Amino acid sequence: MDKITIIGGNELHGKITISGAKNSALKLQAASLLTSQPMVLTNMPELADTRFMVELLEQLGVTVYWPKGSGRMQTHVAEIRSTIAPYDLVRKMRATFNVLGPLLAREGHATVSLPGGCAIGARPVDLHLKAFEAMGADIVIEGGYVKAAALRGLRGAHIVFPFVSVGATEHAMLAATLAQGETILENAAREPEIVDVANCLIAMGAKIEGAGTSTIHIQGVTSLNGTTYNVIPDRIEAGTFACCVAATGGEVLLDKMIPDSINALLGVLRQAGVGVERGDNWVKISRDKNVALKAVDIDTQPHPGFPTDLQAQFMGLMTTAEGTSIFRENIFENRFMHAPELRRLGADIIVRGNEAVVRGVKALKGAQVMATDLRASVSLVIAGLMAEGETTIGRVYHLDRGFENLEAKLTNCGANISRSAGD
């Protein structure tokens, strides 16, 4: 298994171009099942997760042409060959579950493995299934599989989500584009990725209003056309690099991104004493590393609140801030797995339930640590970049799921970070 070695202490200077958003790309890949015409997705991030999704799409009968390094994925599925998403593929990556809605909407039936829990929490899919039932689908769970059928087609429904779910909002929206009549989604998630998926579906001929607000109206159509669509920039990648620069000191321009998509992070970075300048599609982060950061508290919330996907990175940063910061994780029940690893580098963190108390220490010292999930592992990179001496991170396949060219992007800005084959 590969490992990453970092020699900490280097400031970061330069420019980083932000890649396409993983969590949008995955849902757009699922959306390509909704049309029998060719689709082109540009600014596609080359990640383990988007490649897993290709494996599944191919199994369902989609022809995929995605030359390495092109960022341009072409798909075409004149006829769906299979409506079964097997356990082996769904267990590797939960977002593959999102093919259920498009298959059900287009073919009237689908059998998709339940994704099961994952490292950050139980992550049930009950809201997804309730939405499809409200749209007229019969759902049976058997042998770990969801068997869904709507043989006379899905019909529009008024769905009020009991709490905000990104996945359930997107999934219901995908299916509702081909349902008969109007679907209203209330208490919908408002993440930028939802708006991106809606914009792509609209370009495909779907009738959707209100994406990005808590009420979305979808008027079903009988078919969707193919289109060429550019995936939005990854706000979590942008926020992660912002934390890297805030941690090491220096000045880096984060280019080709949407500054508003990380407003919550930029606000707390400013409170901590980090320099933030912004333009139309860039943010410049600067910090004098001789001036200590101030501790700031974090409460994760659905968008536009502070994203759970940046909680671990901000915790990495706060380990050497002046004072105590309290982190409250309100989205997932087990998302502090980075805390014990950060402690190995000398951080002072106590976890109690969904709360972590981080008391800033003068400096971190390099150590051997282990990645546990995608965002947790990149918080260890941040800690390693500011620690004295050498940090090695094992199980880096977690990083490859969601960060495109991470080491190259950091090396270009002066970081001492490299990958090698591990034991």
| All residues at 6 or more sequence positions from 110 whose CB lies less than 8 Å from its CB, including other chains | 83, 84, 85, 99, 100, 103, 104, 146, 147, 148
Which of residues 304 and 323 has its CB atom nearest to ligand EPZ in the complex? 304
Q: How far is the CB of 131 from ligand EPZ (least distance, A)?
A: 9
HSE on the CB side for 221, CA within 13 Å? Answer: 16
Using CB under 6 A, list all residues that contact ligand EPZ: 23, 26, 95, 121, 123-128, 165-168, 308-309, 331-332, 374-375, 402
Residue 347's closest CA among 299, 382, 373?
382
Minimal CB distance residue for ligand EPZ: 167
How far the first Cα of the chain sits from its last, in Å, is: 6
- Active-site entry in 118, 200, 244, 413: 118
Is 413 one of the annotated active-site residues of the chain? no
Which of residues 46 and 309 has its CB atom nearest to ligand EPZ in the complex? 309
Q: Hey, which residues does 301 pair with through a beta bridge?
A: none
Q: How far is the CB of 173 from ligand EPZ (least distance, A)?
A: 12
Q: How far is the CB of 53 from ligand EPZ (least distance, A)?
A: 10
Q: How far is the CB of 121 from ligand EPZ (least distance, A)?
A: 5
Tell me how far apart the alpha carbons of residues 256 and 232 are, in angstroms, rounded to a whole number: 9
Which of residues 106 and 375 has its CB atom nearest to ligand EPZ in the complex? 375
Q: Is the peptide bond before 302 cis (omega within 30 degrees of 0)?
A: no
Which of residues 76 and 91 has its CB atom nearest to ligand EPZ in the complex? 91
Which of residues 94 and 409 has its CB atom nearest to ligand EPZ in the complex? 94
Q: How far is the CB of 157 from ligand EPZ (least distance, A)?
A: 16
Residues 194, 314, 419, 237, Cα dihedral to 10°? 20
Contact 154, 178 (CB under 8 A): yes
| Residues listed for the chain | 423
31: its two tokens = 């959306």
Q: Which residues are catalytic?
A: 118
